[in-house]
């Protein structure tokens, strides 16, 4: 019995080693591609404006400087509301108190008084009212002004047109590169939207004038101009 048992084991082992190894299927080669980035630009007319005006006062004491400033700012805000600016369109954007010191007399400064600054930002959608509100603010007593800007309130305006223009630009570039390589352009395999870039608004044609004549203040001319939005897409195309 022992020799017969050994023979069976040997035959089984031999059969096991004789089995062919399993072969993995051959993987398909990845397609050849070209990657490009396209840009699309859309020019829009702004529909919102903002400007910053303020009152600066100087007095020997803090109380005197603050009280005078408060009175003048209150007149400015009341005048803006009377001219059509809603309460939610007017925002206090800055308040500061600075000591005024004279450093010319030796090392220790001499206190001359205090300067108080209070600034107000107006943000409104009616572009046509920008000149009127600036005029009203200046007439009410502001003596500082800055930051007149025109904006597009809805960032999605022009988005569809801008993205399509960016894709078309990318396809034109990819087609040119494919022809240069003696190939033809295939399908778009991957599309990635880039960050939206918003260049600063183009310089305004008009200018803000704060000069006041003795009899009558000159009108404040403003022009909203246009604003350009830029969109980018990165596309991977198949090469054939």
Domains delineated in the chain = 29-47+154-240 (3.30.110.170), 48-151 (3.30.70.2970)
Average pLDDT over residues 135-153: 92
CA separation for the pair 140, 225 (Å, rounded): 27
pLDDT at 5: 39
pLDDT at 82: 96
pLDDT at 211: 35
Shortest CA distance to 208 belongs to which of 48, 46, 52? Answer: 52
Q: Given the DSSP bridges, would you call strands 110-124 and 227-239 parallel, antiparallel or unpaired?
A: unpaired
CA separation for the pair 199, 167 (Å, rounded): 20
pLDDT at 234: 96
Residue 3 confidence class, pLDDT cut points 50, 70, 90 = very low
What are the DSSP E strand ranges found in 45-109?
Answer: 48-59, 90-102
- The dihedrals phi and psi of 104, each to the nearest 5 degrees, come to -80, -20
- Percent above pLDDT 90 for the chain: 62
- Whole-number mean pLDDT of the chain? 82
Q: Inform me whether the pLDDT recorded for 209 exceeds 60.
A: no
| 36 vs 156: which has the higher pLDDT | 36
Q: From the centroid of its chain, how far is CA 85?
A: 25
| 40 vs 221: which has the higher pLDDT | 40
Lowest mean pLDDT among 15-29, 149-163, 171-185: 15-29
| 97 vs 7: which has the higher pLDDT | 97
């Amino acid at each position: 019995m022992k020799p017969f048992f050994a023979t069976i084991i040997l035959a089984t082992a031999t059969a096991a080693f004789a089995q062919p190894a399993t072969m993995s299927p051959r993987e398909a080669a990845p397609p050849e591609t070209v990657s490009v980035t396209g840009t699309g630009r859309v020019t829009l007319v702004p529909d919102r404006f903002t400007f910053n005006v303020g009152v600066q006062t100087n007095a020997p004491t803090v109380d005197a400087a603050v009280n005078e400033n408060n009175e003048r700012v209150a007149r400015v805000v009341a005048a803006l509301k009377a001219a059509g600016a809603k309460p939610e369109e007017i925002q206090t954007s800055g308040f500061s108190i600075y000591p005024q010191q004279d450093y010319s007399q030796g090392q220790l400064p001499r206190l001359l008084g205090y300067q108080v600054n209070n600034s107000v930002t107006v943000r409104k959608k009616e572009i046509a009212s920008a000149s009127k509100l600036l005029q009203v603010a200046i007439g009410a007593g502001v003596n500082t002004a800055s930051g007149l800007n025109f904006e597009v309130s809805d960032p999605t305006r022009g988005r569809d047109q801008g993205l399509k223009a960016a894709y078309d630009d990318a396809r034109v570039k990819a087609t040119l590169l494919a022809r240069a390589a003696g190939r033809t352009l295939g399908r778009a395999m991957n599309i990635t939207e880039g960050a939206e870039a918003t260049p600063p608004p183009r310089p305004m044609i008009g200018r803000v004038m704060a000069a006041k004549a003795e009899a009558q203040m000159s009108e404040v001319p403003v022009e909203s101009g246009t604003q350009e939005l830029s969109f980018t897409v990165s596309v991977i195309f198949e090469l054939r």
